[in-house]
Amino acid sequence: MNVASLVGAVAVAYLREELQADTGAVQSTARYVLNLSAEQVAAVARAVLADPFLNDRIDIKLPISLVSGQGLPEETLTTESATFYRNADCPKAAYLLAEHEHGEDASIREIAKLGPPELLERIDLWVREASKGLPIAQEQQKWWERALTGLRDLRIVSIDRFAAYILRTRRENDEAGRPIIDALGAAMPALRLPNDPACFGSLKERQRGHASAWKQQFNNAHKRRSGLLLKQTSSQLLLSEEDLRNAFEKVAHQIPNACHPVIEAFIGAPSGWNAQAEAIAEQDWEQIKPIFDGLQREKFNLGKNTLEYFSELGIL
């Protein structure tokens, strides 16, 4: 499973619930307009076509200009805009459309939207789809839900990165055998944060059931660590290569030798998110954090620099 297919699975679970609730009732044609990337829209369409219940009830009409090249059946494509289907007769219970032109927004305002805001409201569906086939206890599923709710409430990640984090958490649990609490920390590189299996270990069991506690933990990690991977201090001052090299020389003996090449490459790389920042994010935080502990740019000392200036002029 990849990011697009997970988004598709969650969207299909959402649509199934919507249309199952209408089963047996006399309803007018339902219309759902997707507000997602082309790859994600195509993934939703494929998931609908693969679901017998939804395939019988949903007529897919997607702009060919949006999803051409995605390998969808010809009958699911259209040259018409979503606005055209607002009042069009439908042979099935619902139309599945997609927003492509920005000018359509006002015209399709009355059509039910299905995009990041709607999907992220259903954290339960994300966990349900991601945990399929995993022997996760109900309590750990609940903690996973609360953790993702806390992350969502921070509003700091896109739906793509959110989905990538969920998939990485699943992999850490399934392949590395980590409990969900540890897997959530080890999956942090998907959020452009350091790999830290112990990140949430301080949360007591009674706190793990509260999204607010998770939100605070994610917020702390983001504020204290995300900038470091971009070579910035917590006050967003840029860390120079010299700053980092001096810091590394002081603590190199505390860091495993296996980490040294990755750190050297990071120090020599430009600032910002790049391959070197991604590589250092994958290192265990407990092993590499000595280089960052207490690392701050030296503050500009006006008095000291004034004295040095006049000294150079021979006045002092």
Check whether residue 20 and residue 106 sit in a common domain: yes
Which of 227, 257, 279 is the last residue before a domain boundary? 227
Q: Torsion over CA of 40, 184, 223 and 2, rounded to 10 degrees? A: -20
Alpha-carbon distance 100 to 104, whole Å?
8
Domain boundary among 194, 227, 260: 227
One domain for residues 167 and 192: yes
Based on the domain organization, do 301 and 245 belong to the same domain?
yes
Same domain? 170 vs 181: yes
Same domain, 61 and 105: yes
Q: Is residue 111 part of a domain?
A: yes
Phi, psi of 301 (to 5 degrees): -100, 105
SS3 293: coil
Rounded Cα distance, 253 and 130, in Å: 41
For 31, list phi and psi in degrees, rounded to 5: -135, 130
Residues 13-48: tens digit of each pLDDT: 999 999 987 665 556 889 999 999 999 999 999 999
DSSP 71: -
The whole-number pLDDT of residue 83 equals 87
Q: Are residues 109 and 169 in the same domain?
A: no
With respect to residue 161, please indicate whether it lies within any of the assigned structural domains.
Answer: yes
**Within this chain, do residues 112 and 38 fall inside the same structural domain, yes or no?**
yes
**Residue 47: inside a domain:** yes
Contact predicate 34/11, CB 8 Å: yes
**What are the tens digits of pLDDT across the range 40-68?**
999 999 999 999 999 999 999 999 999 99
In a domain, 17, yes or no: yes
**91 vs 94: CA distance, rounded Å:** 8
How much is the pLDDT for 87?
86
Residue 142, in any domain of the structure: yes
Which of 206, 227, 248 terminates a domain? The answer is: 227
Task: Check whether residue 141 and residue 112 sit in a common domain.
Answer: no
**Do 129 and 53 sit in the same domain of this protein?**
no
Question: Domain range holding 273?
Answer: 237-316
300 pLDDT more than 50: no
pLDDT at 271 over 90: yes
Supply 180's token pair. 């969900």
Query: What does each C-alpha distance from 208 to 143, 150, 166, 184 come to in angstroms?
Result: 6, 11, 17, 12
Using 50, 70 and 90 to split pLDDT, how confident is the model at 103?
low
- Position 296 pLDDT exceeds 60: no
Looking at the predicted structure, is the pLDDT value of residue 136 above 50?
yes
Angle 276-277-283 (CA atoms, 0-180°, nearest 5)?
95
Q: Report whether 212 contacts 272 (CB < 8 A).
A: no
Q: What is the pLDDT of residues 206-248, one digit of tens each?
A: 999 999 999 999 999 999 999 999 999 877 889 999 999 999 9
Residue 232, domain member (yes or no): no
- Residue 264 sits in the same domain as residue 313: yes
Do both 26 and 116 map to the same domain? yes
pLDDT tens, position by position, 173-185: 999 999 999 999 9
Counting beta carbons within 10 angstroms of the beta carbon of residue 149, is it exposed (0 to 12), middle (13 to 18) or buried (19 or more)?
buried
User: Is residue 314 scored above 70 in pLDDT?
Assistant: no
Please, what is the average pLDDT of the chain?
90
- Whether residue 181 lies inside any domain: the answer is yes
DSSP label of 254: G
Query: Which pLDDT band, with edges at 50, 70 and 90, does 293 fall under?
Result: confident
Same domain (yes/no): 18, 60: yes
Calculate what percentage of the chain has a pLDDT beyond 70.
88
| Number of domains, the chain | 3
